[in-house]
Chains A and B, each alone.
Chain A
């Protein structure tokens, strides 16, 4: 204890005694979920911040970079507590994070109380974060949950010819939001949603819902994830149903595709969409994957970057690029930094990213299809991409607002098809 005290007094003396020193470093707070369901993804986020900083040797505009990791458990109150610690005790210049949807909304509100600092979103994807009353110093360089669903709808109508579907999706905010992106595009392309089923998060027995699915539809949209998705597929196969499937963004991700057993086989041939495709031939993506794979030993990383890792990488990349442009000048309430971030045209691994007036990214959405790989495992294959998907999904902000926030009944399919 005594040694600790001496040390902290000494550090305090150094910090207080040399204001010039403080200006020579840039301190980044990494706000990331390291407990709970997304712990593995969170670790990949931290790795990717390191990876991005390693590319510039931890120096931005001639200043040394320091990082502080603040772990959360995906609940909004822990997130705020940790963010406060980062700002008040660690005195970071800006925060990269958070990871999950409700954390993002909480951080939007917290950001308003620290106007001369900056928050760059990690990978949280709630639409409301940058759509409803956004904070002027909160920047999001990843697409939100509804954008991830965009492009899939027109693909299944035009390429697959599936016009009438039923949907089964998780009964919570991300389920609604991701479904909205799909449905807007699907309905506008002339598709029709016969029936919508909403299942509680964490359901394990879908027997009743599967029986209630109408049998005169071309396909079934599934917007559940993780263990729920595996249970559904397992029971869906046992019930002998053989309709085509369409996957939401979390339906056909690595958690489901790497699960053990036969359940996932029902997914073969299922189209899905999301903010990246593993086999994207774009050199920017390929070199990022190589960088990631070379950057860490094989047992300390995923086979290829995860969604979470990509989000944190892009956010850090944006911060580095913007800071280089303004020569690392964080004075005057970080005004120059905010401006540089707002006007940034970022060359990210998944293509060009630009922010709109709400400081929300517009970028590329990838449509992929689940296929059987060479070794018999399931993997996803890129089949289409849609560039420059905006927050309002190609509508004007007024049209988008008139449609209403994502919920069980929104969007109204017939209305979209007509207009």
Chain B
């Protein structure tokens, strides 16, 4: 942070100013003039919160994707399928047992195991052959999509939210102040808040694991120079399998989250693969903070776009991607390698 401020003083001022404006817009009650131009504050707040929660979901899916790419240089185009498998399994598990929270553990383990099998049986055999790996992952995604269609059919599934998370909750954020001075707080779906908190917790834990633990050190070393790490006696295949399983498990968890506040159906796999690609391209391939930033930007762009410019909302995401590719091809937080 300090380093960035020293190198780019002008940008730091602009970014700090923008952040301050955003914080003011969220917490302070809006004056009437602003409400006339932008519509009600409630709408703005909801769009921002929805964007952030959507970003949380994108982060869950994309962080696994970017981790696998960073370490193994493997563009796993079957990542969307892992998302959808996780969602369907989560639906079946929580439907059978009624335990929504436990379904996350269950799905993380099962989809993680699928990841282990994929890495151990398939990708280990074609290490370093980028094109071959990419083609194989495309093939796998098609096979998975058809198997899922065969088992779960073409209908849509939504996962039941547990009672303690259904319905709205009140946030300590002022939505408006009525003429009689009564303060109206923002009410917002509880389940989305839970998702947001979970995504932040997972993100922080991942950052800590990568930067403060031994296994994290190994992974970072592997990202920087695989050959040197292998030469220094680390059994790098174990690290690969562990990272692939972890990334796959995260995608599976993403599936439950997506199934809870959106829905699951054939085609969602491709949608989330595409979203992950955009997120990591914007944020920077292989970077976890980059995935977080990219997810936040894409989520906010989608939601603010759908409220304030519905006609063009589809374009915004790709416009951002094109801009990043044009001016900073390695991604916002991508390394310069």
Known: A207-B192, A238-B167, A263-B158. A200 touches B314 (CB 8 A): yes
Do residues B168 and A240 form an inter-chain contact, with CB atoms below 8 A?
A: yes
Question: Could you tell me the distance in whole angstroms from the C-beta of A351 to the nearest C-beta in chain B?
Answer: 31
Question: Residues of B contacting A234 with CB < 8 Å?
Answer: 158, 261-263
Question: Residues of A contacting B271 with CB < 8 Å?
Answer: 204
Do residues B313 and A230 form an inter-chain contact, with CB atoms below 8 A?
A: no
Question: Could you tell me the distance in whole angstroms from the C-beta of B202 to the nearest C-beta in chain A?
Answer: 20
Closest B residue, CB atoms, query A237: B166
Do residues B263 and A231 form an inter-chain contact, with CB atoms below 8 A?
A: yes
**Chain A residues numbered 195-232 whose CB sits less than 8 Å from any CB in chain B:** 197-200, 203-212, 226-227, 230-231
Interface residue ranges, A against B (CB under 8 Å): 40, 171, 197-200, 203-212, 226-227, 230-231, 234-235, 237-240, 255, 258-263
**Chain B residues numbered 70-98 whose CB sits less than 8 Å from any CB in chain A:** 91
Question: Could you tell me the distance in whole angstroms from the C-beta of A198 to the nearest C-beta in chain B?
Answer: 6
Question: Could you tell me the distance in whole angstroms from the C-beta of B313 to the nearest C-beta in chain A?
Answer: 6
Size of the B side of the interface (Cβ < 8 Å), in residues, is 45
Closest A residue, CB atoms, query B275: A204
Do residues B50 and A208 form an inter-chain contact, with CB atoms below 8 A?
A: yes
**Chain B residues numbered 148-200 whose CB sits less than 8 Å from any CB in chain A:** 154-161, 166-168, 187-192
Question: Could you tell me the distance in whole angstroms from the C-beta of A34 to the nearest C-beta in chain B?
Answer: 14
* Cβ of B139 under 8 Å from chain A: no
Question: Could you tell me the distance in whole angstroms from the C-beta of A408 to the nearest C-beta in chain B?
Answer: 9
Question: Could you tell me the distance in whole angstroms from the C-beta of B240 to the nearest C-beta in chain A?
Answer: 33
Interface residue ranges, B against A (CB under 8 Å): 39-40, 42-43, 45-47, 49-51, 53-54, 91, 154-161, 166-168, 187-192, 261-263, 265, 267, 271, 302-304, 306-307, 310-311, 313-314
- How distant is the Cα of A262 from the Cα of B165 in the complex, in angstroms? 14
- How distant is the Cα of A325 from the Cα of B245 in the complex, in angstroms? 70
Do residues A255 and B307 form an inter-chain contact, with CB atoms below 8 A?
A: no
- How distant is the Cα of A260 from the Cα of B263 in the complex, in angstroms? 10
Do residues A259 and B155 form an inter-chain contact, with CB atoms below 8 A?
A: yes
Do residues A261 and B189 form an inter-chain contact, with CB atoms below 8 A?
A: no
- How distant is the Cα of A230 from the Cα of B258 in the complex, in angstroms? 13
- How distant is the Cα of A409 from the Cα of B157 in the complex, in angstroms? 34
Do residues A255 and B155 form an inter-chain contact, with CB atoms below 8 A?
A: yes
Do residues A262 and B46 form an inter-chain contact, with CB atoms below 8 A?
A: no
Do residues A211 and B42 form an inter-chain contact, with CB atoms below 8 A?
A: yes
Do residues A200 and B313 form an inter-chain contact, with CB atoms below 8 A?
A: yes
Question: Could you tell me the distance in whole angstroms from the C-beta of B46 to the nearest C-beta in chain A?
Answer: 3
- How distant is the Cα of A134 from the Cα of B85 in the complex, in angstroms? 48
Known: A204-B262, A205-B50, A209-B307. A238 touches B156 (CB 8 A): no
Question: Could you tell me the distance in whole angstroms from the C-beta of A160 to the nearest C-beta in chain B?
Answer: 25
Closest B residue, CB atoms, query A199: B310
Question: Residues of B contacting A207 with CB < 8 Å?
Answer: 46-47, 49-50, 53-54, 189, 192, 303
Known: A207-B303, A238-B261. A259 touches B158 (CB 8 A): yes
Closest A residue, CB atoms, query B308: A208
5 smallest A-B Cβ distances: which pairs?
A: A211-B46, A207-B50, A261-B158, A240-B168, A208-B307
Question: Residues of B contacting A171 with CB < 8 Å?
Answer: 310-311
Closest B residue, CB atoms, query A204: B262
